[in-house]
Structure 1
Amino acid sequence: MKKPLHPDQLRSLVPLNALSRRQLRELQGQLTPRPLLAGELLFGVQDSTATLFFLLSGELLLHGGDGQERCLVAGTAASCYSIGPGPRWQRAHALSDCSVLAIDSAQLDRLLTWRQTYQDLLVQLSLEGHSPEWLEQLLENPLFAKVPPANVRCMFDRLESLEVAVGQTLIQQGDVGDCCYFLKAGRVEVIQEAGSGRQVVAELEVGACFGEEALLVDRPRNATVTMLEDGCVLRLARADFHALLEAPVVADVSLAEAARLLVSGAQWLDVRLQDEYERGHALHALHMPLDLLRLKARLLDHARTYLCYCDSGKRSASAVFLLTQLGFSAFVLRDGVDGLPAVQHDALLCQSGSGYLARSGGRIERSSR
């Protein structure tokens, strides 16, 4: 039985190489190479777009909806990027015996978006005096997988810090849920009562979130939570909790609508990773990755409209939300570049290389790299 690939073996695979080791552990079950025999179909027209593939060895023949065919050879620059069924490639079969990775596209997109969002968020909150170690522990909580990335910064602004003493009960079983808590310091004990019996079901430490279940399912508290030592918790009110679970509304445009805005002076903004950008980007598109956007937005021109894009549209939606908060006019390319037909995809991402950078005063320069 084959073992999952080690993180060092993923360095050339974009964007897997941008994920943290913790995130790669979450994908571990999908990082075991699977064989594909010569002549075997990897994916077809009817297959779901939910899976992306990375070619590790061998050769694949890709078939586009417009009749275009392309041979993908392992070890080449093109094989460092994922492929999958969609508007660009409708079928792929093995020309020789191959080895591939099959990755859940939605999970990868979520991890990648969070990775880039976290980097910016950690820098900002650290500058405000929050402990980076505690923040990383907190952001690993599964609750944050339910909160749209653009809302996480707002969540921290709404948290109420409370000093708590040993023995203090924060949540009482049977009560109506009016908030949830994040444990910043200390330990808590979770107890469930059934009849005349009491059972300790968990002991939570720094970084834990508790009380959210009653808010998610709108039911009474199912356990009692008591402090085991003096500590500190952050309280999030019920109304704020539900507001932050809702995805922010951002303005989106089709490729045709984007073209009309470009004629009026709008600017493409590529928020993907550097490797993704250098492989192919829109004509004169500025490269401003999501994790650096908050820091570099001061270089943009408030008088200009920005059109943000990424592969699926999720990272660019976060970018548009952030830019809108900062007072810019910005739109997201609907469904991202992967949602475009092959001809439009290749026409949009027509430039390669290091591309364009924003300078002070909104000036745009061609990178010398």
Structure 2
Amino acid sequence: MSAPLSFEQLRGLTPLDALSEQQWRELRGQLVPQPLLAGQLLCRLGDQTRVSYFLLAGTLLLRSADGREIRLVAGSRASCHPLSPSLPRQHEVRALSDASVLAIDSAELDRLLTWRQVCANLLLELAGEADGDGWLEALLQNPLFAKVPAANVRAMLERLQPMELPAGAAVVREGEVGDCCYFLRRGRAQVMRGANGDRQVLAELEMGACFGEEALLSGSVRNASVTLLEAGCVMRLDRQDFLALLKAPVVAEVGLGEAARLLSNGAQWLDVRLQEEYERGHALEALNMPLHLLRLKSRLLDSARTYLCYCDSGKRSASAAFLLSQQGFTSYVLRDGVDALPAVQRDALLCDSGAGYLARSGGRVDRSR
């Protein structure tokens, strides 16, 4: 399989050249060139498939309904734009020589381009309120905000409360009740779990990062501590504002029927309970990644895949979906968790044996027993 195109290789293609590097990473799974043999049909006249095609190499023939033909050669000015972009397709497109094309989901591309423009507009509108340290742009580059309406982002920014803190300040303490979340405006912070000799560093946060939201989503106490590594500034957002402005548009819930449809299209169950809970019963082919390790282990996940998060009550899985959204993953939550399912459906979903996967330390993913 060919390697995905790099960010620099996209710069000659319109409108892909308008995407940010972060957005390119979100599309990375689709940025793999597809070969076409001479004479092979790419799309038919009248085709309704929502895919944007870009010519990378070779020559294509575009034939319209009235028989007019256009030869499109890779590297020409016309080849820098999508092929026959209108739906239904206005041309039959066939390879005249061996060729290579890029095929991207049009709806996903439109979503990213729309957010890119919204982001640019927000930065212009709020330029007078920012102090020029670049934190707002870094914040808006977080994939999380691509799912948040612009009006919500504006309202959130108006409600943030700045806090100047020294190096070593404990912003969040493990075990405390959470009544707010934070955004890191300036400085660096460290996420830790445990105490003394059992302390484990889960992550290091930089400008624009959101933290402290897990307790708000799950309704439980803080499951980790966050300490500033250097003097900095954090922006505080109260719990009610977080739930109304960020959680509501970001965490998408599905029932078991919709989950089955997503699974048939390549999605995977993600069990965010503890390993002991998982081994007592889990969904077939489910990957186990406990919530408290998700920030650390999410690098093991496939960015091109959709994940269906579940737990007993739905609270831990809501936290997981929010964290995954921050990292550019597509995820859904099983509504109200497995405990809300009728007994027959619950027993059918969870099994104590069969195929499953455990995310281990060191980057290994093992089959469960």
TM-score class, shorter-chain normalisation, is: 0.5 to 0.7
Q: How far apart in 1 are the matches of 2:191 and 2:45?
A: 50
Residue segments in structure 1 that go unaligned for 5+ positions in a row = 249-369
Alignment of 1:59-70 (within 5 A): 59-61=60-62
**Counterpart in the other structure of 2:173:** 172
**Counterpart in the other structure of 1:73:** 72
Q: Is it true that 1:213 corresponds to 2:214 in the alignment?
A: yes
Distance of aligned partners of 1:148 and 1:68 in 2 relative to their CA distance in 1, 3 Å threshold: farther
Q: Is it true that 1:16 corresponds to 2:12 in the alignment?
A: no
Shift of 1:112: 1.4
Shift of 1:187: 2.6
Q: How far apart in 1 are the matches of 2:25 and 2:144?
A: 18
Identical residues among aligned pairs (%): 54
| Residues 60-87 of structure 1: per-residue CA shift (max 9 Å, x gap) | 44677xx988646235655433247984
Question: Which amino acid counterpart does residue 16 of structure 2 have in structure 1?
Answer: L
**Counterpart in the other structure of 1:277:** none
Question: Which amino acid counterpart does residue 172 of structure 1 have in structure 2?
Answer: R
Residue segments in structure 2 that go unaligned for 5+ positions in a row = 251-369
Shift of 1:10: 4.2
Q: How far apart in 2 are the matches of 1:165 and 1:145?
A: 32
Shift of 1:233: 0.7
Q: How far apart in 1 are the matches of 2:136 and 2:194?
A: 32
**Counterpart in the other structure of 2:55:** 55
**Counterpart in the other structure of 2:136:** 135
Shift of 1:204: 1.9
| Residues 126-172 of structure 1: per-residue CA shift (max 9 Å, x gap) | 22243252222222223223323443222211211122244433223
Q: How many residues align?
A: 246
Q: How far apart in 2 are the matches of 1:6 and 1:195?
A: 43
2:174/2:193 contact within 8 Å kept: yes
Shift of 1:121: 1.9
Q: How far apart in 1 are the matches of 2:31 and 2:107?
A: 15
Q: How far apart in 2 are the matches of 1:93 and 1:131?
A: 50
Distance of aligned partners of 1:195 and 1:127 in 2 relative to their CA distance in 1, 3 Å threshold: closer
Alignment of 1:36-47 (within 5 A): 36-43=36-43
Q: How far apart in 1 are the matches of 2:175 and 2:64?
A: 59
Shift of 1:234: 0.4
Q: How far apart in 1 are the matches of 2:173 and 2:198?
A: 15
Shift of 1:5: 5.0
**Counterpart in the other structure of 1:261:** none
Secondary structure at 1:53 match in 2:
strand
2:189/2:206 contact within 8 Å kept: yes
Q: How far apart in 1 are the matches of 2:127 and 2:185?
A: 15
1:41/1:93 contact within 8 Å kept: yes
| Residues 27-51 of structure 1: per-residue CA shift (max 9 Å, x gap) | 4554453321123233469998453
Secondary structure at 1:214 match in 2:
helix
Distance of aligned partners of 1:174 and 1:119 in 2 relative to their CA distance in 1, 3 Å threshold: same
Larger deviation, residues 8-17 vs 112-121: 8-17
Question: Which amino acid counterpart does residue 54 of structure 1 have in structure 2?
Answer: F
Shift of 1:6: 6.0
2:60/2:93 contact within 8 Å kept: no
**Counterpart in the other structure of 2:100:** 99
Q: How far apart in 2 are the matches of 1:24 and 1:4?
A: 10
Secondary structure at 2:134 match in 1:
helix
TM value normalised by structure 1: 0.54
1:161/1:234 contact within 8 Å kept: yes
2:182/2:234 contact within 8 Å kept: yes
Q: How far apart in 2 are the matches of 1:241 and 1:44?
A: 47
Q: How far apart in 2 are the matches of 1:43 and 1:216?
A: 45
Q: How far apart in 2 are the matches of 1:48 and 1:175?
A: 53
Q: Is it true that 1:162 corresponds to 2:168 in the alignment?
A: no
**Counterpart in the other structure of 1:34:** 34
2:45/2:88 contact within 8 Å kept: no
Q: Is it true that 1:112 corresponds to 2:107 in the alignment?
A: no
Q: How far apart in 2 are the matches of 1:174 and 1:46?
A: 60
Alignment of 1:161-310 (within 5 A): 161-193=162-194, 197-216=198-217, 218-245=219-246, 246=248
Distance of aligned partners of 1:12 and 1:201 in 2 relative to their CA distance in 1, 3 Å threshold: closer
Secondary structure at 1:114 match in 2:
helix
Alignment of 1:312-351 (within 5 A): none
TM value normalised by structure 2: 0.54
Secondary structure at 2:199 match in 1:
strand
Question: Which amino acid counterpart does residue 41 of structure 2 have in structure 1?
Answer: L
Q: How far apart in 1 are the matches of 2:11 and 2:189?
A: 40
Shift of 1:194: 8.2
Shift of 1:115: 2.0
Q: How far apart in 2 are the matches of 1:111 and 1:153?
A: 19
